[in-house]
């Protein structure tokens, strides 16, 4: 039983409680992320989506509940975090004093012992895999456009080939073409590298095109989870409002 659940789920969250002061943000939340799937998480702004992600990766302390990542309970271990998961922060969070190449090499340099030559080749390989050119490697983060910043951040998140990738609003601030390209890129990489992707997003197009399942977070709980089609049928008032609002009408037509 235990072995099976380990194989099946990349992330298991049980009864998670997180709050700040008197305010409870996540209230006995449970969520399973299957191995090799792309899970999209939707929720109101300020509703705790990013809090959930940051709690799973250990940036925010939890008040109760358990979190298992790849069958291992999370908590207190910072060692080897980079080999377990890669994180794409909303603003990229590239180190501004390092070049693109050094940013991608940073996790390699800190976690592995390998020759400079191999490190350079791996960095360029990662950059090319996310659709950048070798010429971009010597630029500084300040010289990059929004889309390029996200790509470099993705390359850095993938530097150690982690099995799980967390994406915090990966397509926010990108134009529709760049956002579509980025979605396609994530899908391709997920297939090639066999990643499990946990994606916090507001982008209805990404939800429909790349996510295998979508989870809706409202009132501190997961109120609906399943493929996009199922979520569109959901009777929960918030989920209805989210997917049947004016902005979602067009996409909904496409789905039907």
Partner 1 sequence: MNSEPLLLATPSGDALKLRPEGPWTAANVSALETLSRSVGAEVDRSRVVTLDLSGVSALDTLGAWVLEKLSRRAASSGRSAEFVGVADHFSGLMDEVRQVNRHTPAPVAEQNPILLRLGDLGKSTVGSREDITIFLQMLGALSMAVIGVLRRPRSLRLTSLIYQLYRIGWQAIPIVALITFLIGAIIAQQGFFHFRRFGAESYTVDMVGILVLRELGVLIVAIMVAGRSGSAYTAELGSMKMREEIDALSTMGLDPVDVLILPRVAALVIALPILAFIGSIAALYGGGLVAQFYGDMGPAIYIARLHEAISVTHFEVGILKAPFMALVIGIVACSEGLRVKGSAESLGRQTTTSVVKSIFLVIVLDGLFAIFFASIGM
The nearer residue to partner 1, 109 or 236, going by C-beta atoms, is: 109
Q: Indicate the residue among 121 and 254 with the shorter CB distance to partner 1.
A: 121
- Would you state the structure tokens that stand for residue 104, as one six-digit string? 């991608």
- Rounded to whole angstroms, the Cα distance separating 49 from 66 reads 17
> Distances from the Cα of 161 to the Cαs of 65, 71, 108, 204, in angstroms?
28, 18, 10, 28
For partner 1, the binding residues (CB under 8 A) are: 83, 96-97, 108, 111-115, 118, 121-122, 124-126, 128-129, 133-135, 137, 140-142, 158, 160-161, 191-194
Pairing of strands 64-69, 213-218: unpaired
Shortest Cβ 94–partner 1 spacing (Å)? 10
Smallest separation, CB 179 to partner 1 (Å): 22
Strands 213-218 and 221-226: antiparallel
Q: What is the 3-state secondary structure (H, E, C) of 204-250?
A: HHHHHHCCCEEEEEECCEEEEEECHHHHHHCCCHHHHHHHCCHHHHH
CB of 60 to partner 1, least distance (A): 23
Q: Which is nearer to partner 1, 12 or 126 (CB)?
A: 126
Q: Which CB, 124 or 216, lies closer to partner 1?
A: 124
| Alpha-carbon gap, residue 243 to 249, rounded angstroms | 8
Pick 28 or 77: Cβ nearer partner 1: 77
Strand partners, 225: 215
For the bound state, the minimum distance from the C-beta of residue 127 to partner 1, rounded and expressed in Å, comes to: 8
User: Smallest gap, in angstroms, from Cβ of residue 39 to partner 1?
Assistant: 21
């Amino acid at each position: 039983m235990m072995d099976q659940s380990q194989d099946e789920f990349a992330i298991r969250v049980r009864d998670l409680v997180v709050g700040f002061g008197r305010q409870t943000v996540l209230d006995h939340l449970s969520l399973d992320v299957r191995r090799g799937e792309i899970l999209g998480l939707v929720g109101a702004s300020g509703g705790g989506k990013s809090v959930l992600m940051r709690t799973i990766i250990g940036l925010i302390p939890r008040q109760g509940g358990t979190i298992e990542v790849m069958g291992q309970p999370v908590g207190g271990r910072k060692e080897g975090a980079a080999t377990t998961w890669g994180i794409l922060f909303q603003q990229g969070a590239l180190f501004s004093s390092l070049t693109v190449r050094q940013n991608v090499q940073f996790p390699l340099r800190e976690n592995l012992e390998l020759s400079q030559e191999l490190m350079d080749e791996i960095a360029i390989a990662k950059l090319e895999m996310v659709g950048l050119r070798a010429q971009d490697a010597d630029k500084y983060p300040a010289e990059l456009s929004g889309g390029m910043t996200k790509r470099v951040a993705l390359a850095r998140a993938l530097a150690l080939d982690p099995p799980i990738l967390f994406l915090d609003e990966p397509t926010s601030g990108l134009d529709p073409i760049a956002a579509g390209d980025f979605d396609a890129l994530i899908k391709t990489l997920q297939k090639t590298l066999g990643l499990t992707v946990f994606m916090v997003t507001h982008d209805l197009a990404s939800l429909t095109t790349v996510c295998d399942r979508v989870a809706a977070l409202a009132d501190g709980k997961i109120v609906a989870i399943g493929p996009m089609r199922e979520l569109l049928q959901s009777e929960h008032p918030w989920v209805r409002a989210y997917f049947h609002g004016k902005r979602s009408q067009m996409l909904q037509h496409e789905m039907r």
